[in-house]
Structure 1
């Protein structure tokens, strides 16, 4: 499934059963992972979904959880956090999700904190 948010790159989505399969986990465990902020989900277009970019080599993107805490601390909702992660960010030079995938979590979190 692909959805697109305003002025950003398309997002490939995984439903919760697809996420469970990608992680090799049960659906209950995946829901717990969302509750623990290892992932953030959205209901924009039907069932609850998670961006596929949040899964790397069959595991949650390790830098995502702390980044989500920063975004929520500055007042972002789950959908706003997803939008920000996938939108081009001038101070980083790319969408924050791409920077996280490159291991640039400190830079992403610094920019996120400045959004407060």
Structure 2
């Protein structure tokens, strides 16, 4: 069974630019949907239910791979006590000192700074 994040009605949802269904993620990564589910369960990728359908922010999937540093950031923030919903909210909160949001920075050369900030949240 899919174990992703559920965004509740009335609660602020993360705001990525584009969403992908799990079959779309599987197509991009050239893997099966069951392997996408496994990535989500193992903390290599994040997803939320939108209209009762699990979806992944498109920015987290670069070409034919998950953003290189995303699994490490997920692990660090989970270890700091963040829920997956809080983690997604953090990834998509605008930051004037980064090129947009931490999610965007992960894919545009700001990964080291994003990882450093995620590690600092654990202390």
Q: TM-score range by the shorter chain?
A: 0.7 to 0.9
Residue of 43, 47, 55 corresponding to 2:61: 55
- Among candidates 80, 96, 100, match of residue 102 of structure 2: 96
**Equivalent position to 1:113, from 110, 115, 119:** 119
Unaligned runs of 5+ residues in structure 2 are 1-10
Cα distance in 2 between the residues matched to 1:7 and 1:13: 12
Give the SS at the match of 2:20. Answer: strand
Provide Cα deviations, 1:18-72, integer angstroms capped at 9, x if missing partner.
1111211111111111122110111243211111111111211111010111111
Paired residues, number: 112
2:75 corresponds to 1:69: yes
CA offset at residue 15 of structure 1?
A: 1.3
1:13 counterpart = 2:19: yes
After TM superposition, the score normalised by the length of structure 1 is 0.82
Using CA pairs below 8 Å that are at least 6 residues apart, which structure has the higher relative contact order? 2
TM-score (normalizing by structure 2): 0.78
Distance 1:38 1:10, change over 3 A: closer
Corresponding position of 2:34: 28
